[in-house]
Structure 1
């Protein structure tokens, strides 16, 4: 039985990886021939044209493989001895696929011709509403802020807000090569393992499918620069669908619903800790914009990856450090909730996150305060002389 359980998640993972590896080069070729490039401007971290439709591969792979998985599990009563109640969770996956298709259409339209933020906001709102409609919503806070059960009239709007926050956080963190795809890949793998431990097999499959399809994209996005004309971006098509995917997984794990998985005291902290970096970063950026009396939706260079880059870190190191920070918080929280309360864990998170930014700000300030020294070919000045 252990071998069968491993195959349940390994086969979809390998299929997703294979499909991603097969489709992304084809998308790259079409994008390059049709000159569908990401624009170059002052906020961009790249200095030449790069195709940006890599995310077109994501939703079709997820929808096809999950439809196949749902049919096999539900229609043929596959692995009935695992006590998988597909009847209760089937609507959740059907509306998940509906939401992915909706955001896929909006994202590809935005990548090709541009879509105003108002219409993207409406699409995100409608898509986020699909989760409570399907029966999936945050119904228990597990003692966070000393709150337990949440009635539908509070939990459902909170779920819609949470989904929209996550979608936008994932979209905004997509600023340098490998960062967005790396964060979602790490989150999907962690949540996939947690779902598998709880025998929530359809959710585990979706998590591993998401991680599997991101591996070839990560390769082309990060290592494509070393290959002649092979680098590609995911675009809004990718970031929107990935945001919705990881929001679905996080809310599914945090929901107190025995048809999804057994009750776990630290479920809500474990679920959302994998998204701590993008969500807390976008919250900080919004606060900074609000404090400076700027539009909350006005683009700037105040995200965590911009700060690393401004300190002189390379794109590759910036991406690696942020992924390590996200991995640290994930492991720290998932282990900590087994021994201490959710409130204490979240308080420790807030302290660590604040200390990180305080130190970061001091280093950034001291670096900016260093006097600029201009040298010409006839002048030599040592740091001690300066």
Structure 2
């Protein structure tokens, strides 16, 4: 019966998103609420960026409706988790609302990165306040149980980190939403396997609206295309951080480290997480503000190799799936530290390969330009 509820919340989310997103498109075109292209952006024509407005309402309606139906049919939420989950979900909704509102403001009129950063920190502080914080590293770097004065700040940092990573990777069609779909799909499976059905329901409600948005973002013809904007990316990042952090908290009723589930769930977000580190390091090493936007993200670098936008998106989604599958297999044989080291080694190797093809493509382009220039004048 519980699987039926899970499928129901997923389908309800898709249905609601299918109804709401076309209305957002209509309003965007009527009021001319567009994301205007500039030198840093990939798209060449104005496109609405309010797709993320649908995320929070759809998720809450689907999640709360199905949870209410469960109670009416005498299938209450997981009793072992009820006392803690109720408080955690209340604070989750508060944090989501804060980020959603600042995201809407940024999509409509623009908001400075400092103000957004402060709101992100306030929203992240709600997790430790609700009782959700990292209290064990599961053997990562040889560390296990950690005290609250380390775990709570670490939780806030990682929440802001993940939220920003999803925001910053949202640079080409289907990338942020596609990576989020992979992460949410795995989280549904893992949460269902360990009996955390409420978290599985949250992931399913989120996946339903994101898949629907993915269709409009990637496959829609001109006039029906839209971006998620900050309202969507901040909402997605906060929900993903909430779900992933549960696999870094050990309780009397729950030990996620027996199956290395902590690293398996993080593997779904490795591309945006590692890309943020590389980009911020590059900006700081050049003496620039790390929050200043540029065209140095991994999708920009792949575009410089000569790939088309759609090919770049598919390549990065396949790379994310590789991380997920390989880490899941490795979790049965090696510990989290070796798993992380292998992931980092593969990531560095990938960037050396990308750099090689960038140089090859730019050299070939330079030769082509020289021949054209010579033929024009001679």
TM-score range, shorter chain: over 0.9
Q: What is the Cα deviation at residue 360 of structure 1?
A: 1.4
Give runs of ≥4 in structure 1 deviating > 6 Å: none
Q: What is the Cα deviation at residue 260 of structure 1?
A: 6.0
**Structure 1 residue 189 and structure 2 residue 171: aligned?**
no
Structure 2 counterpart of 1:108? 104
Structure 2 counterpart of 1:136? 132
**Structure 1 residue 46 and structure 2 residue 40: aligned?**
no
**Structure 1 residue 352 and structure 2 residue 346: aligned?**
yes
Contact 2:304 2:361 in 1 (8 A): no
- In structure 1, what is the Cα distance between the partners aligned to 2:372 and 2:352? 36
Contact 1:200 1:260 in 2 (8 A): no
Alignment of 1:191-210 (within 5 A): 191-210=187-206
Q: What is the Cα deviation at residue 259 of structure 1?
A: 4.8
Contact 1:73 1:86 in 2 (8 A): no
- In structure 1, what is the Cα distance between the partners aligned to 2:69 and 2:356? 56
Q: Classify the secondary structure of the residue corresponding to 2:282.
A: helix
Higher share in helix:
2
**Structure 1 residue 372 and structure 2 residue 367: aligned?**
yes
Q: What is the Cα deviation at residue 377 of structure 1?
A: 11
CA 1:266–1:62 in 2, change beyond 3 Å: closer, same or farther? same
Structure 2 counterpart of 1:32? 29
How many residue pairs align between the two structures? 374
Of 218, 221, 227, the match for 2:217: 221
CA 1:378–1:40 in 2, change beyond 3 Å: closer, same or farther? closer
Alignment of 1:286-305 (within 5 A): 286-305=280-299
Of 56, 61, 73, the match for 1:59: 56
CA 1:93–1:71 in 2, change beyond 3 Å: closer, same or farther? farther
Q: Classify the secondary structure of the residue corresponding to 1:274.
A: helix
Alignment of 1:1-386 (within 5 A): 4-71=1-68, 78=75, 84-224=80-220, 227-259=221-253, 264-370=258-364, 371-374=366-369, 379=375
Unaligned runs of 5+ in 1: 381-386
CA RMSD of aligned residues (A): 2.0
Greater alpha carbon shift after TM alignment, 337-346 vs 165-174: 337-346
Structure 2 counterpart of 1:384? none
CA 1:258–1:18 in 2, change beyond 3 Å: closer, same or farther? farther
Query: Normalising by structure 2, what TM-score?
Result: 0.94
Unaligned runs of 5+ in 2: none
- In structure 1, what is the Cα distance between the partners aligned to 2:129 and 2:68? 21
